Amino acid sequence: ETGVTQTPRHLVMGMTNKKSLKCEQHLGHNAMYWYKQSAKKPLELMFVYSLEERVENNSVPSRFSPECPNSSHLFLHLHTLQPEDSALYLCASSPRTSGGRNIQYFGAGTRLSVL
């Protein structure tokens, strides 16, 4: 148990659906991250939030829309996804965002299948 909880663990959606992924941490961390892990590819950073402000958007298509209402919660809103968006989506948190010298605590991930 890393202290970072993601829901749901599995999600199947059609290309016209709208769904949301949720991430929650009660570690007192100020930074939260969304990553995408596709089959046989390295983890790719999607978004970084620091103190509820988005500080990184790694050229992610607009069909992915993050939301950070407070420092403990992070959402990823999904709409009109494509089959190639099927992947494992991982949330992480860290005390701060400073230069990769913080250990990141990962959730168990949401495995998304887009039909």
Which stretches of the chain bind another protein, using CB under 8 A?
Answer: 2, 37, 40-45, 48, 55-56, 58, 88, 90, 92, 97-101, 103-109, 111
Residue 92 DSSP class:
E
Q: Which residue, 16 or 40, has its beta carbon nearer to another protein?
A: 40
Alpha carbon distances (Å) from 59 to 46, 47, 105? 8, 9, 23
Smallest distance, another protein to C-beta of residue 1, A: 9
Rounded Cα distance, 29 and 8, in Å = 22
Q: Which residue, 30 or 80, has its beta carbon nearer to another protein?
A: 30
Closest CA to 82 of 33, 115, 38: 115
Smallest distance, another protein to C-beta of residue 75, A: 19
Q: Which residue, 79 or 111, has its beta carbon nearer to another protein?
A: 111
Smallest distance, another protein to C-beta of residue 6, A: 9
Q: How do the residues of the chain divide into helix, strand and coil, expressed in percent and rounded to 5?
A: 5, 55, 40
